[in-house]
Amino acid sequence: MPHTLHSLKTIPASLLPRIAEIHLGDAGLLSKLGYPFVLRYFEGAIKDDRAFGFYAQDDGTGEIMGFSLASPEPSALTSKLTEDKGWFIQNIIKVIFTRPAAFLQMAISSITIRGQMYEPNTIECVYFTVDPTFRGRGLGRSLQKALMDEGRKQGYKKIYASVETWNIASLKATQANGFRIIKTFREGIYHRHRLESEL
């Protein structure tokens, strides 16, 4: 499976829908809000000055296999979803009627996130997702490691991640990258481990 990791900042706009599609394999809230929110989120994330990430591309076929994203301030990425008020109101009304549980979870998560302090010189592994075809072959681990290497290069000292307690694949990859569990907490329907690693 020869592949190359590229910076998400340089991804051609035509490939962003594929990133959004792969992201829908993540069980988190963003996926539950639906594809329009996911695509808009990544459109904002690649333009954000401080966020960075990588995508893995098959050297032979050019297929996108997975991606990772980190930021020193993840809430700034989420806030971008509400920048265009007209778009947000129109789409969130659809969510209220078609996915009320996702709307409720969004309200709970926004309160939880508000209470989360972001320390200076730290980043969050916001997302890392691999297309199901390519899972279990070390790609998730190397996409997350790329975030750690880049974070270190940029002078950050620590990286955090939150992983649902049932998510064995993510926990294994994250712990193999040197993260350790520092606490376990509830966020609405989610039961998560909080993990950290020095960079």
Query: Using CB under 6 A as the criterion, which residues of the chain lie in contact with ligand COA when the complex forms?
Result: 25-26, 128-130, 135-141, 163, 167-170, 172-173, 176
Nearer to ligand COA, 87 or 185 (CB): 185
Taking the complex as a whole, the smallest distance from the CB of residue 89 to ligand COA amounts, in Å, to 29
Rounded to a whole number of angstroms, the minimum distance from the CB of residue 137 to ligand COA is: 5
Strands (E), the chain: 3-7, 52-58, 64-71, 122-130, 158-164, 180-187, 190-198
CA dist list (Å): 176 to 20, 46, 122: 26, 27, 20
Using the minimum distance from each CB to ligand COA, give the nearer residue, 27 or 96.
27
Q: Are 15 and 39 in contact (CB under 8 A)?
A: no
Least separation in angstroms between CB 199 and ligand COA: 18
Smaller CB separation from ligand COA, 81 or 177: 177
What is the nearest approach in angstroms of ligand COA to the Cβ of residue 192?
8
Segments in 5-99 forming alpha helices (H): 16-23, 29-33, 35-47, 74-79, 85-98
Residue number, 43 or 164, with CB nearest to ligand COA: 164
Q: Which residue is nearest to ligand COA (CB)?
A: 140
The residue among 93 and 113 lying less far from ligand COA, judged by its C-beta, is 113
CA atoms of 194 and 113, how far apart (whole Å): 13
In the complex, least distance from residue 83 CB atom to ligand COA, rounded to whole angstroms = 25
For residue 90, what are the CA distances in angstroms to 94, 117, 142? 7, 31, 38
